[in-house]
A and B are shown apart, each in its own frame.
Chain A
Amino acid sequence: EVQLVETGGGLIQPGGSLRLSCAASGFTVSSNYMSWVRQAPGKGLEWVSVIYSGGSTYYADSVKGRFTISRDNSKNTLYLQMNSLRAEDTAVYYCARAGVYAILSWGQGTLVTVSS
């Protein structure tokens, strides 16, 4: 059974940094497209980043230069390093296993709140 478990969310001050982790089971992270998608409170879904099986990475313009997606193959874990955080980054962050057409599996999400 595919399972994705995010950790690392919390309250952080503007300008601060946070690293989210996503532990995967039931499949191999390094063999899949792995994404982060976020959802601000009461708002819709926003794609954030993806890492390909080959290691290529892509980012939404809103986070480019501030966020870094990576993975640890030995731990079968996906990460999102978030720097220079802003109030508008406040959201539930979902880890996701993506296919070419769509997102196939989602984690339960972890809440990041950027506030002073």
Chain B
Amino acid sequence: DIQMTQSPSSVSASVGDRVTITCRASQGISSWLAWYQQKPGKAPKLLIYAASSLQSGVPSRFSGSGSGTDFTLTISSLQPEDFATYYCQQANSFPQLTFGGGTKVEIK
């Protein structure tokens, strides 16, 4: 089974900061990676698919990069509505999807 490891597990940041979250796969997954944002009590929301493709309607301050085993989600200028938990997810072993453990972005 492919394991997904996110780091850090939490990050404290201020509005306007650049925030970077990493996700590492236990084996190569090409570009079969997605990123989601989840706010408390709500369902996750797709931000990025195929490692770097921005889902329709998602602000351009979100970007994704990487391939193989190492991936990054970057928020270029953190906004108040971006405080949430972020998850990566691999689809290389589709239909069996695996999620990372999550990264909570908190207000400093």
Give the interface of A toward B (CB within 8 A): 33, 35, 37, 44-47, 50, 52, 58, 60, 94, 98-104, 106-109
In the assembled complex, B80 has its CB within 8 A of some CB on chain A: no
Q: A101-B49, A106-B43, A108-B43 are in contact. Are A44 and B102 (CB under 8 A)?
A: yes
Whether B50 and A101, one on each chain, are in contact in the complex, defined by CB atoms closer than 8 angstroms, is: yes
Q: Are B34 and A101 in contact (CB under 8 A)?
A: yes
User: Considering residues A37, A46, A50, A103, which has the most beta carbons from chain B within 10 angstroms of its beta carbon?
Assistant: A103
A25 to chain B, nearest CB (A): 16
Q: Interface on B for A, CB 8 Å cutoff?
A: 32, 34, 36, 42-46, 49-50, 87, 89, 91, 94-102
Chain B binding surface SS class: loop
Given A107-B43, A109-B43, A102 contacting B99 (CB threshold 8 A): no
Minimum distance in angstroms from B12 CB to a CB of chain A: 19
- Complex Cα spacing A107 to B97, Å: 18
Residue among B43, B94, B96 making CB contact with A100, cutoff 8 Å: B94
Given contacts A94-B43, A101-B32, contact A44 B91 (CB under 8 A): no
Residues of A within 8 Å of B46, CB to CB, are 102-104
